[in-house]
Structures are given as C-alpha cells and as structure tokens.
Structure 1
Amino acid sequence: MPYASDIEVVVFDILGTMVDEPGGLRAAIRDAVPATADTSVDHLLTVWQEHVEHEQRRIEERSRAYANTETIDREAAQRVADCAGLTDPAAIARLATASQRLKPWDDSVTGLTRLARHFPVLGLSNASRTTLLHLNAHTGLRWHQALSAEEAQANKPAPEVYQLAIDAAGCPPERILKIAAHAWDLRGAQATGMRTAYVQRPAGDPPKSTDTFDWQSNSLDELVTALTAT
C-alpha cells in the first residue's frame, strides 16, 4: 500500500460510486409507470441496464459509432416505455433524463468535501457533459474539475478516458489515485499507471481475489479517514 503522501490528485468515478444509479433509475421508472408492481419495475430496470451495457459494448467493439449517454439513455427510456405500454411523450422524455437526478450516497457529499481540503479532486464519468453538469448541480457534489468521457469519444475502461484525467492532473499517473466502486474501472485505471482505491457500494462491482488495489474500504468515510490521517 502506498503512502497517501505519494498522492497528488484524486480522481473519482461518479455513477455508482458517488450516486445511487440503480436506485435512481428504479425510482424514475416507478414514477413514469406508477401502477407498475415492484417486480415489473425490476424487470424494466433490467431492460434499461441491458440496453446501456449492450450499446456501450458495441461502441467499445467499434460496431457502433460513439454515442454519448444522453443518446443511449433516450433509447433505453424508449425501450422501457415500449415494454410498459407508456405512450406519454413528456413522461418518456423525463424518464430519459433520470440520470441527471440521481441521489448521492449518504457519505458522498461530506466525504468529497473532506478530501477536497487535502487534494485536488476530479470527477471522471462516462456520463455526458450535459448529464454530468445537471447531476453535479442536483447532488451538490463539488469537484475542482469534472470530466466527461464524451471528451474522448469513448467510454471507460478505454485508456483514452483515463488519459483525460492524467492530462488534467498534470502529474505522473502513479501520483494519481482513482477511487471507484467498480473493480473493472479500477483495473482500467491501473493499466494506465494510476493508484487505485476500491470503495464498497451496494451497486458496485466487487474485486476478485486476483485484484490488488492500493486501498479497499467499506465506505467513503473510511477511505477519506485513511487518506487524510496525519
């Protein structure tokens, strides 16, 4: 484990790490289709998630040109609407922007604020620039800088997305700490030379036995305490 003194800049994943993406999407689906039972909401959430994952995989494999998350979310919302029999254009349009209104985890705002007193903090997200702008305003997350993968016309874990953060940080990647609740994201950051810290979240992707991240924490509060201890 490296010393926190070796770290110059901290880079956060946002979706799933700082905000409850599945919970927010589930709530938005329930609002759009209020008579839907919980089991049906879960099915519709799966429809949304599978579409997003499939299209991002197609982009990664270059079988689809890059499309930002606003475009893919609109497609996902329409798929959910088709499955649920939802025809109200206003309701579908609002559902398509659900990612702009996700709720932060209980320790996200305070943890980010605490850490920002000690390090420059960057947000690095696959969310589009517009989605990221509205999401940050909605949640109260205050970054020194927030970067969208849209700038690289790619999605994490493509190396060019992490390069955005390295370029913005202006220091060697081994002096940058990437924080995420997704092991796949941390592996991508590791491949570019960044340090890594896993934070457990209910909707995250836990590490495998073969993963060797620099820090592993049960909460953001726990991680921030470890990083700022003198």
Structure 2
Amino acid sequence: MPLPVIEAVVVDVLGTLVDEPAGLRAGIRTIAPSVDETGLEELLGLWQRHIEQEQQRILRGDRAFASSEVLDREAAELVAVRAGVSDPAVLSELAAAGQRLAPWPDAVRGLARLAERFPLIGLSNASRSALLRLGAHAGLRWHQALSAESAGAYKPAAEVYRLAVELTARPPERLLMVAAHAWDLRGAREIGMRTAYVARPVGDPPAPGERFDLHADGLDDLADQLAAV
C-alpha cells in the first residue's frame, strides 16, 4: 500500500537523534572514574530502570506526573548513593547528564534534509527546558519541539502524540512519526499516525515480522525514501 500524503514529520529525540546511553555513561564516569565496565553498566542500568519504572507508574496513575528533570534527579541520586558520592554539586552535574547528549552522526544532516520538504517537529519525553538544552547542545534543528510535559504524560500515551496532531491541525494519518523504538511507533500508530522505524544501536527494534510504514537504516536513508514517494 503506498504511503499517503505526508504533511509533517514528527521525530523522537532520545535514542533516535541522540545517543542517550553514551551520554549517561559519560556522566556516570565523571563521578565514578575508577569503576570498571561491568560496574559502569550496572550503574547505567540502575538509572534506566528507575526512569522506566517511574514513567510506567505515572502512566498507570500510581504517581502524579513528574517531569523528566525530576525523574533524572531521582535516578542520579540512586546512582550517586551506589557509587558512594554525596557532594550536592556533583549530584546536580550528574542529574543534567541527560541534557548533554551527542547526536548520531547523521542526525543533524538528516534533520536538515527532512526540514527542506516537511514541517519538522521534535517530540520527546524530555521536559520542555531539558529539551531546549538538549537540542542546543547537540545542534539539533526543527521547526517546533514538543515535550510530553505539555500533555502531563509520557509516550506511548496517546495524549502525547496528539500534541503533534493539534499543533499541525492535520489528520493523524498525514503525520509521519519517526523513531528508533518500536514501542514509540506502536503508540503513534494507535492514534492513526504513519510510522517510520529508524535503526539505531540503542533502539528497540520491531518484533519479528512486525512492519511499520517505512524502515530505514538512518535519517539519510529515510530522507531518500521519502523523496521517492
């Protein structure tokens, strides 16, 4: 089935445009320089599990909404305690590690190519202020950035994707959601958005046999495919 006319492209940020695990590892390494690789991965896992657990609690209604900055601070505190660090200044620096993430090599160029043809929207679980700093640090460019904080929820909640639908004032099937996470694309598909999976080393790949509207090796490949539509 041919792809319907696309009037806007919506791109996930964490993991899709920037290498989040690498940035968190770098932040953890600054407070625990002597930890070995196994220990580093254990601390990273502690951080990631806390974020996932608390976002799921919020989605279930077991916890009131808290921004990504609050959750990152909590995760940083857990990691610091495990690493034996108590300096408040060091803790604050670690908590902001998720706002100093490097872009994937094709991210800046790929965004520019997509923005030449479509209104381009970043849609992230990062808070509004964190998203501002993250985009500035990584040199990311879009026409608009939307934070899940504005919906008081986290992806894959439908109300987060509806932020992009409301902004564009276009039917959801005219919006293409781009992400390296299959769970993210499933959420977008639930409200009728078109979907494009972009492979990343840290993403959540589709299940065996699972298909989205487009599958791409990177943003350049995605731009090429959209140019051919």
> What SS is found at the alignment partner of 1:117?
helix
2:207 matched residue in structure 1: 208
Aligned AA (2:66):
A
- Report the alpha carbon displacement of residue 100 of structure 1 after superposing the two structures with TM: 0.8
2:34 matched residue in structure 1: 35
Name the CA distance, whole Å, in 2 between partners of 1:217 and 1:87.
Answer: 44
- Report the alpha carbon displacement of residue 217 of structure 1 after superposing the two structures with TM: 1.1
Name the CA distance, whole Å, in 1 between partners of 2:205 and 2:218.
Answer: 13
- Report the alpha carbon displacement of residue 32 of structure 1 after superposing the two structures with TM: 1.7
- Report the alpha carbon displacement of residue 212 of structure 1 after superposing the two structures with TM: 2.5
1:74 matched residue in structure 2: 73
Name the CA distance, whole Å, in 2 between partners of 1:142 and 1:71.
Answer: 25
- Report the alpha carbon displacement of residue 210 of structure 1 after superposing the two structures with TM: 4.7
2:113 matched residue in structure 1: 114
1:56 is the counterpart of 2:55: yes
2:177 matched residue in structure 1: 178
Name the CA distance, whole Å, in 2 between partners of 1:116 and 1:23.
Answer: 26
Aligned AA (1:125):
S
1:23 is the counterpart of 2:22: yes
Aligned AA (2:148):
A
**Structure 1: runs of 5+ lacking an equivalent:** none
- Report the alpha carbon displacement of residue 88 of structure 1 after superposing the two structures with TM: 1.6
1:224 is the counterpart of 2:214: no
1:2 matched residue in structure 2: 2
CA RMSD of aligned residues (A): 1.1
Aligned AA (2:122):
G
Q: Which runs of 4+ in 1 moved over 6 A?
A: none
Name the CA distance, whole Å, in 2 between partners of 1:208 and 1:196.
Answer: 15
Name the CA distance, whole Å, in 2 between partners of 1:85 and 1:97.
Answer: 19
Single out whichever of 210-219 and 132-141 deviates more from structure 2.
210-219
Is this contact kept in 2: 1:114–1:224, CA < 8 A? yes
Single out whichever of 172-181 and 28-37 deviates more from structure 2.
28-37
- Report the alpha carbon displacement of residue 150 of structure 1 after superposing the two structures with TM: 0.2
Name the CA distance, whole Å, in 1 between partners of 2:34 and 2:129.
Answer: 31
2:146 matched residue in structure 1: 147
- Report the alpha carbon displacement of residue 31 of structure 1 after superposing the two structures with TM: 1.2
Q: TM-score, normalised by structure 2?
A: 0.97
Aligned AA (1:98):
A
Name the CA distance, whole Å, in 1 between partners of 2:67 and 2:213.
Answer: 31
Name the CA distance, whole Å, in 1 between partners of 2:82 and 2:215.
Answer: 39
Aligned AA (2:57):
R
Aligned AA (1:219):
G
Report the count of equivalent residues: 229
- Report the alpha carbon displacement of residue 209 of structure 1 after superposing the two structures with TM: 2.8
Cα shift readout 1:73-98 (whole Å, capped 9, x = no counterpart):
00000000000001121111000011
> What SS is found at the alignment partner of 2:121?
strand
Is this contact kept in 2: 1:181–1:201, CA < 8 A? yes
Aligned AA (1:91):
V
Aligned AA (1:202):
P
- What are the residue-to-residue correspondences of 1:185-196 with 2, within 5 Å? 185-196=184-195
Is this contact kept in 2: 1:115–1:228, CA < 8 A? no
> What SS is found at the alignment partner of 1:10?
strand
Cα shift readout 1:144-178 (whole Å, capped 9, x = no counterpart):
00000000000000000000000011111111000
Aligned AA (2:52):
E
2:135 matched residue in structure 1: 136
Aligned AA (1:2):
P
Is this contact kept in 2: 1:109–1:140, CA < 8 A? yes
> What SS is found at the alignment partner of 2:117?
coil
Name the CA distance, whole Å, in 2 between partners of 1:117 and 1:221.
Answer: 13
Identity of aligned residues (%): 58
